Amino acid sequence: MKKHLISPPRIKFEAAKALGIATNGFAKNAHIYPYFVIAVIVMLVSACSPKGPYAVTNKVYKHQADSLTQILQVQQPVALTDSAGLAVPADWVGTVNFGIRKPNYVIIHFTAQDSLGQTLRTFTVKHTGTSAHYVVAKNGKVVHMVNDYLRANHAGVGKWGSVTDMNSISIGIEIDNNGNEPYTDAQINSLIALLTRLKTTYFIPTANFIGHEDFAPKRKPDPGPYFPWKKMAEHGFGYWSDDILELAPENFDYVTALRLIGYDTSDLNSAIIAFKRHFVQTDIKPKLTQLDMNILYNVYQKY
């Protein structure tokens, strides 16, 4: 069967027509079309190239994620030795019943920086070593920086209950705020939408929405006195005291109550300050007033 071939000039003509380019006089000016075709190819390649100020860091992120995927695909027995230095018999048999580990806490931070751009810069350079899963801008824009199933470096050293490696089991959310200013309505609305999604997707318990100050009271004050913890509790993210408070008993063991909530009481003053930052907010002195005791007595019974 005879094949019908389209000549190179005809190919160029069809390409130009497909691109919506005028073809009048194409034959007369055919000598310029090799350059035209090259220009079109350059434009198409440019259009497919990654753009934006974070194209390079996005590429690095993908490379690191690919490396983790390779680790997950390794199938080999564990190498063990007993107390005598002898190899312990081992084998690998892949089960069909498994899944990926999911986050069980959400830690809320303020950025302590002056702009979203400054924070994104901090989280996209290697030497800082810090990151977060999400950043919420003042206009309500939510920037997702780490996959929810991956470990971000946001919590650092601290303790909550028996948890010391909070990064491995939590989502970190940074809110664009320097620590000395109210949060915007847009930020709070977006945060509630984000927390709702995280809670329903990963079945995160109400008690497990806490602040950086709760986990690391010796080091961190965020999200600070302007953060609306009461409003968060009304939406199911953490707890808050009831409007009507019962008087705390005279023999109330406030240290145990703080510990049962989750606070590390090895430094009691820091634990008290952290509790008051979260649940009192109007006074953060390391001393519990009667009102503070009443609030603590009410709150700890919710945990």
pTM beyond cutoff 0.85: no
Residue ranges, the chain, pLDDT below 50:
1-28, 30-49
CA separation for the pair 35, 191 (Å, rounded) = 52
Long-range contacts of 145-150 (CB under 8 A, 24+ apart): 145/120, 147/65, 148/102, 148/103, 148/198, 148/201, 148/202, 149/100, 149/101, 149/102, 149/103, 150/65, 150/68
213 among known catalytic residues: no
Q: How does pLDDT run across 184-230, given as a tens digit for each residue?
A: 999 999 999 999 999 999 999 999 999 999 999 999 999 999 999 99
* pLDDT the model gives residue 51: 72
Q: How does pLDDT run across 162-193, given as a tens digit for each residue?
A: 999 999 999 999 999 999 999 999 999 999 99
Q: How does pLDDT run across 89-100, given as a tens digit for each residue?
A: 999 999 999 999
Residue in 14, 174, 213, 250 annotated catalytic: 174
